[in-house]
Structure 1
Amino acid sequence: MSAPDLTTTIKTLINQESLPDAYADTVKKTILPLAQHLHSLRQDRAGPIVIGIHGAQGTGKSTLTVFLRELLTKHYRIPTASFSLDDLYLTRAERERLAEDVHPLFITRGVPGTHDIALGQQVIDQLKAADSGTETPIPAFDKSRDDRSQQYQWPVFRGRAEVILVEGWCMGAVPAASDEELMEPVNELERSEDPEGTWRQYVNRCLKGDYSRFFSQVDSLIMLRAPSMECVLQWRTLQEHKLRERMSCAPKEGGARSGAAQPSRIMSDEEVVRFIMHYERITRASLEEMPARADCVINVGEDHSFGEPLIRQRQ
């Protein structure tokens, strides 16, 4: 691994992700040691490995995933694919049907039950079974439209992946222990819009079922540990501001029609507060219990700074 080449890669990624130059220190302190750990983990296994990256909204999962993928691929020569649970969201039409059949809160993407987990499993299976000439489409979701992108717009991974990175806010989350726990509301959304617990119970059943089976194939679980739920709200609000800025600067093709359709799905600050309430129960539970079982914990500061990776060796 050539130091100049590595430095160039890091600089390129920092520019690509619109990060401050000081992020290079984070790469050296946190991301490079983690990449080295994943390289060692892959060498110890007979076949491809699946790495789960968990973190509340705004913790930096997507950025971490991009850096790990590029460093593993270019400098460790390990073909690495990645996708997000966010890109497995059900289509808008599918969530509308779920909202009608089960509970109105399922119109909002995010909680277990609003992902196409079978699609995610299909992607992992294809990446593991691929040969050098295989092309695997990786699903993509357009948050500005609140709908899945058309398949022709999906990125394609070529060849067989030796490391598969799967990131998501609820990656590796566990279900509530009891119905009694579920029935105690954690916020006003649950109290006023799900008074009988129908939505919560369905989410929990999904976590016990398809999601648990999907998470069980993870060879190593990385947790980006947010300092508090309050920080999560601040960070998610900031994400929506950035999305609004990008959409306002993007060229509007197709005249007024396309220009009017896209910004309608971008949330106001008040809408973000309500949106985050959908995530609050599982986020709080994960912040409390996951650090004790994750294979690697990275503490995230209020300023988004990363601590050194705390790696637990599996027996």
Structure 2
Amino acid sequence: MTCSYSNQPTKNAQVQDWVVSSPVFQAAGLEWNDIAQEEWCRLANLLIDRWNLDPNLPETNIRVHQLYMPIFFWLRKICERSSPPIVGISCPQGGGKTTLTFAMQFLFEQLHRKCAVASIDDFYLTRKEQQALFERERNPLLEFRGNPGTHDVELGVKVLSQLKYGKANERVAIPRYNKAAWNGLGDRFPVEEWQQVECPVDVVLLEGWCLGFQPIEDEEHQLIDRRLVAINRHLKAYQKWYDMLDGWLVIEIEDLDWIYEWRAQAEDMLRMQNKGAMTAEQVRDFVSRFMPTYQQYLFPFYRNEGP
């Protein structure tokens, strides 16, 4: 389906049926008659061209018209209520968060507006701080980056506040994390290599795999793994991030085993780029360190529909 509007009512109705049948469109509370439909199609076609997608493939239409475009128009609605809003995007590792944020940035750029993106990965502890954390706690779930407790929450609060309240021409430095450093164990890039964003921005997206997870109150009876006592304790600090958010986008998955496959694919891409990457055995071990956290917090988070 090529998205284009004309004076042909039948063709326009087909486009409309395709879009409004999207669960994302419905969940976003959008109304087709309230949308500038020619603008929808123009932006969708620009995105398809930018990524060299085949507009005749069903998967292209699902990806663009039923996922990215509804999310974009939903974000525009939020921008009308709060300026600039900070929106949390919660999705397990490998679920497409980064690609989604690239698409949102591109679409906002077409309207001469600015979408700033940060990941909780940007706020990982440095390698030295990570090693010190493990030395203190001796918890295998905190040996490597990833689980709650391995992020610098205060640094995240500082950067998000700067992005939200930054004055015109003020520049905000967003940390960058080098996952390929130390043979895939990772480390934070030097400050001079951080991403520079010029304010003001129109919207801020904060994405993360465990964003929104809530600590368990009754640890004694509800924690499935005693190693999660430390994770549960560290999770309490993440409420500082949640309190800053003006909206949530939660992408749900059905099977946790998908994460192993997605992570292996990501490492294969690093390897093809001649960057440091984990072996298959290392990937299995690495992802397994996240699984107790997923098993404890992910599906309750889905049921509660956010913090």
**Per the shorter chain, which TM-score range?**
0.7 to 0.9
* SS of residue in 2 equivalent to 1:229: coil
Q: Which amino acid aligns with 1:84?
A: S
Answering whether residue 213 of structure 2 is matched by residue 173 of structure 1, we say yes
Match among 167, 182, 188 for residue 148 of structure 1:
188
Count the aligned residue pairs: 260
2:117–2:204 contact (8 Å) kept in structure 1: yes
Bigger relative contact order, structure 1 or 2, given CA contacts below 8 A and separation 6+? Answer: 1
What's 2:5 paired with? none
CA distance in 2, matches of 1:177, 1:44: 33
Summarize the alignment of residues 185-200 of structure 1 with structure 2, pairs less than 5 Å apart: 185=225, 197=226, 199-200=227-228
Paired residues of 1:225 and 1:287 also in contact (CA < 8 A): no
2:251 alignment partner, one of 203, 209, 224: 224
The whole-number CA distance in structure 2 between the counterparts of 1:49 and 1:126 is 13
**Residues 216, 223 of structure 2: 8 Å contact kept:** no
Distance 1:7 1:184, change over 3 A: closer
More deviation, 113-122/281-290: 281-290
Tell me the equivalent position of 2:124: 89
Question: Does the aligned pair in 2 maintain the 1:138–1:157 contact within 8 Å?
Answer: yes
Per the alignment, residue 32 of structure 1 pairs with 69
CA 1:179–1:292 in structure 2 vs 1: closer, same or farther (change >3 Å)?
closer
Give the alignment partner of residue 275 of structure 1, picking from 286, 291, 297. Answer: 286
Report the alpha carbon displacement of residue 235 of structure 1 after superposing the two structures with TM.
1.1
Of 141, 154, 159, which residue of structure 1 is paired with 2:199?
A: 159
Q: Using a 3 Å threshold, how does the CA distance of structure 1 residues 292 and 184 change in structure 2: closer, same or farther?
A: closer
Contact 1:226 1:287 in 2 (8 A): no
**Cross-structure match for 2:31:** none
In our comparison, the structure showing a higher alpha carbon Rg is 2
Instruction: Name the CA distance, whole Å, in 2 between partners of 1:140 and 1:216.
Output: 23
Q: What is the identity, as a one-letter code, of the residue corresponding to 1:201?
A: V
Over residues 240-269 of structure 1, what are the superposed CA-to-partner deviations in whole Å (9 max), with x where a residue is unaligned?
Answer: 121122125xxxxxxxxxxxxxx3xx2211
Q: What is the CA-CA distance between 1:143 and the residue it aligns to?
A: 0.3
2: CA distance between counterparts of 1:2 and 1:173? 34
Q: Are the equivalent residues in 1 in contact too, given 2:43–2:110 (CA < 8 A)?
A: no
1:42 to 62, 79, 95: 79
Inter-partner Cα distance in structure 2 for 1:118 and 1:30: 32
Instruction: Note the C-alpha offset of 1:104.
Output: 4.7
| Secondary structure in structure 1 of the residue aligned to 2:201 | coil
- The structural deviation recorded for 1:6 is 5.1
- In the other structure, the counterpart of 1:108 is 144
**Deviations 1:64-120 (CA, angstroms, capped at 9, x unpaired):** 111112212323x44210111011100000011111112252230001110011111
More divergent stretch after superposition (94-103 vs 104-113)? 104-113
Runs of 4+ deviating beyond 6 Å: none
Unaligned runs of 5+ in 2: 1-38
Q: Which amino acid aligns with 1:269?
A: A
How far apart are the structure 2 equivalents of 1:2 and 1:289?
35
Name stretches of at least 5 consecutive residues in structure 1 with no aligned partner. Answer: 186-196, 249-262, 296-315
Q: Quote the offset at 1:283 in angstroms.
A: 1.9
The answer to whether the Cα contact below 8 Å between 1:127 and 1:161 also exists between their aligned partners in 2 is: yes
9 and 229 in structure 1: CA distance in 2 versus 1, 3 angstrom threshold? closer
Separation in structure 2 between the aligned mates of residue 132 and residue 207 of structure 1, nearest angstrom: 34
* Cα-Cα RMSD: 2.2
Normalising by structure 2, what TM-score?
Answer: 0.78
Distance (whole Å) between structure 2 residues aligned to residue 122 and residue 277 of structure 1: 31
| CA distance in structure 2 between the partners assigned to 1:184 and 1:173 by the alignment | 15
Correspondence 1:246 to 2:246: no
Matched, 1:51 2:87: yes
Q: CA deviation at 1:271?
A: 1.6
Partner of 2:260: 233
Question: Alpha-carbon deviations, 1:169-219, whole Å to 9, x = none?
Answer: 01111112422356533xxxxxxxxxxx3x4222111112x2012112212
| Residue identity in the other structure for 1:205 | R
SS in 1 for 2:216: coil
